Structure 1
Amino acid sequence: MIAFYNPEGVGDILLITLEPFEKQNVRIEKKGDVVRIFDEKTRKTVGYNIFQASRHFSLKAERGRAAVDGEMIDAVNRLLRENGFEEISADLSPKFVVGLVKEKKKHPNADKLSVCQVDVGGEVLQIVCGAPNVEAGQKVVVAKVGAVMPSGMVIKEAELRGVKSMGMICSARELELPNAPQEKGILVLDDAYRVGEPFEFPGQ
């Protein structure tokens, strides 16, 4: 679940995305202040727009991204129940974590890409990376599927030149860290960081 709230740019509307969708393939259903967005063919709910959001929630937003926590999920579900919609659930686990590059191999179909196996604590993710400085043994910042980058880009499961990628290894510039170098390359962390722990940064 990803939530956006930008009253100056969009109005007093909470935008909730449950999964990626193409605008031309969806329809809407409105009850009260709630608009359900669903796939036209499968009827599966892919998101909600909640109007007059400030009347229903106490919202905290940074650069348009609303903080999603248990309190928000409870408030959203209460409003959905009141309007006859199904409740939602959300993965509240950290989306930016410390990873350890266990293996790096050359991409079979692209000279400038590497296929990395990255331990993020409890699971190993395959991530295609284009940074020239990525190497096995490094501790890095991983944006997992569902993470929202400071630029607003949402990290999705992808296939790059025929190879599945389940996240992104981040640079300091992509994380908009202070004094981030402008040259291309991932952020390499020191040994003080623990694999799997959340990586906190300004503007998250």
Structure 2
Amino acid sequence: MLITSYNPSELGDTLITILRPDTATQTIETHANVTRISDADSGETLGYNFFDVSKTLGDLDANGQVHLTAEQVEQLNNLLKTNDFEPELVLDTDPKFVVGYVESAEAHPKSDHLQITKTNVGLEQPLQIVSGSPNMQANILVVVAKVGAMMPSGLIIWPGELRGVESDGMIVSGRELRLPNAPQRPGALILPADYQPVGAAFDFKRAQTLFTA
């Protein structure tokens, strides 16, 4: 997993890279302009902060999530090696927002508003996703934020559990995707039946006209 973000107005010329979810206890180690954050118990890397990153990658025309190229990942790995860190960044090109088909939706045994869905996103097995959308039902086409997705709000989707039931992803609304004129109320974005193939990367550009004023 490799999630990267760049917010110069808030953090200056710093690239944030995230490899794993935060843990309760962490260790911070800084060499020159690179900081490694790791799990204090397992030693696994949680992420890196690259300061003055434009000196390595050049100007980044971004404000939010950054989708790095293979060359940029290699440049960052070289910087890690130069600073005595493991060059462990791996390019992740798997689309994180995809079209899904809800095969089934069943009531959560411990909730009066949650539903447990089996949602096909083009993999061998459907994903189990717990949803609180009031319009959730079987046989609809939706947008799924897979594990590793960064929402426009900055929220990162990790494997989770809702009321004791595992959930691997999130079925999202137009409001959560910040699509123009999306209804400002809870409810999954239900796509037209032939909008895009199941498993395809969600087309954000096309989606700009999904809602009318």
TM-score by length of 2: 0.88
Deviation string, structure 1 residues 47-87 (Cα, Å, up to 9, x no partner): 11111111011354543222233232112112112222112
CA change 1:59–1:100 in 2 (3 A) is farther
Inter-partner Cα distance in structure 2 for 1:198 and 1:53: 29
SS at match of 2:110: coil
Tell me which amino acid in the other structure corresponds to 1:187. L
Distance in structure 2 (CA, Å) of the matches to 1:153 and 1:121: 24
Query: What one-letter code is carried by the residue in structure 2 that aligns with 1:118?
Result: T
The alignment status of 1:133 with 2:132, answered yes or no, reads: no
Residues 175-194 of structure 1: pairs in structure 2 closer than 5 A: 175-190=177-192, 191-194=194-197
Query: 2:202 is aligned with what amino acid?
Result: F
Gaps of 5+ in 2: 206-213
8 A Cα contact 1:2 1:68, kept in partner: no
Whole-angstrom CA distance in 2 between matches of 1:93 and 1:156 = 15
Aligned length: 202
Separation of aligned partners in 1, 2:61 and 2:176: 20
1:60/1:67 contact within 8 Å kept: no
In the TM superposition, what is the alpha-carbon distance from 1:198 to its structure 2 partner?
0.2
Q: Report the TM-score, using the length of structure 1 for normalisation.
A: 0.92
Residues 35-114 of structure 1: matches in 2 within 5 Å? Answer: 35-60=35-60, 62-87=62-87, 88-114=89-115
1:150-198 Cα deviation digits (max 9, x unpaired): 1111111110001000000011111111110123211111113100000
Runs of 4+ in 1 over 4 A off after TM superposition: none
Alpha-carbon RMSD across the aligned residues, in angstroms, is: 1.7
Identity %: 45
Q: Which amino acid aligns with 2:161?
A: E
Distance 1:170 1:85, change over 3 A: same
**CA–CA distance in 2 between the matches of 1:61 and 1:161?**
41
